[in-house]
């Protein structure tokens, strides 16, 4: 059986370095026992969890000096886990989730690479009603609204795991569904605002998306 080809990179946050073991490129594919296929993850999107995207860098940099003391934090759709790893370096109370069957193992190995404490991980889909995740003060994610049905699924999942007073931060790269999603969140009782990153000099290409915030 062919092995996945991986690479290593370091992303800097001030004087903090986060080391990442990622897929070498988006041509990688290894679905042992057809687990991903049974979960509805096709070969064309299988690799997307395992690389670093612009939106995840924006989220991680935004949260690098964010007030996190006393907050229970959930990262939705963590992918390779950059934000969770960065928050873990700050000793945050962070739980990571993703639907991809390989996300947990990559996160475990990256925690070891960064000599951090174990990050709780739950593999769950947004339609799952029984995940034992509990509720959170801060829910974050990046580039989550890439299909139309994600509007209802994601808003429902977030609302299910939000404390009565909760803040939600989602980095959207400029996809077409964020307007519908924001309207849905407002109907669920959240206020909404959006903004551009103050500084995105760490990116190699201009960021055309925005920071979506919801508060309740």
Print the SS3 string covering 84-104.
HHHHHHCCCEEEEEECCCCHH
**Orientation of helix 82-89 relative to helix 54-63, angle to 10°:** 20
Query: Which pLDDT tens digit goes with each residue over 118-163?
Result: 999 999 999 988 778 999 999 999 999 988 999 999 999 999 999 9
Q: What CA–CA distance (Å, rounded) separates 163 from 81? A: 23
Query: Which pLDDT tens digit goes with each residue over 17-26?
Result: 999 999 988 8
pLDDT for 35: 75
Averaged pLDDT, 158-187: 97
Say whether pLDDT at 40 is over 90. Answer: no
Which CATH homologous superfamily contains domain 6-215?
A: Vaccinia Virus protein VP39 (3.40.50.150)
Q: What CA–CA distance (Å, rounded) separates 38 from 203? A: 35
CA angle in degrees (0–180, nearest 5) for 51-52-58 = 160
Say whether pLDDT at 1 is over 60. Answer: no
pLDDT for 46: 72
For residue 28, what pLDDT band results from cuts at 50, 70 and 90? confident
Query: Which pLDDT tens digit goes with each residue over 190-204?
Result: 999 999 999 899 999
Query: Which pLDDT tens digit goes with each residue over 65-86?
Result: 999 999 999 999 999 999 999 9
pLDDT for 77: 96
């Amino acid at each position: 059986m062919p092995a996945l080809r991986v690479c290593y990179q370091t992303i800097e946050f001030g004087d903090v370095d986060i080391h990442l073991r990622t897929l070498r490129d988006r041509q990688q594919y290894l679905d042992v026992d057809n687990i991903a296929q049974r979960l509805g993850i096709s070969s064309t999107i299988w690799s997307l969890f395992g690389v670093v995207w612009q939106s995840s860098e924006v989220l991680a940099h935004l949260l690098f000096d964010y007030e996190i003391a006393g907050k229970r934090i959930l990262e939705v759709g963590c992918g390779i886990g950059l934000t969770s790893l960065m928050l873990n370096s700050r000793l945050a109370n962070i739980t990571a989730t993703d639907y991809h069957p390989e996300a947990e193992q990559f996160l475990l190995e990256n925690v070891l690479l960064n000599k951090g404490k174990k990050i709780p991980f739950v593999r769950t889909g947004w339609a799952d009603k029984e995940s034992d995740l509990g509720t959170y003060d801060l829910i974050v994610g990046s580039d989550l609204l890439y299909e139309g049905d994600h509007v209802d699924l994601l808003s429902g999942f977030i609302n299910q795991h939000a404390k009565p007073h909760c803040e939600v931060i989602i980095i959207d790269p400029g996809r077409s569904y964020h307007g519908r999603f924001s309207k849905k969140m407002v109907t669920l009782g959240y206020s909404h605002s959006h903004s551009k990153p103050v500084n995105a000099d760490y990116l190699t290409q201009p960021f055309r998306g925005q920071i979506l915030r919801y508060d309740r």
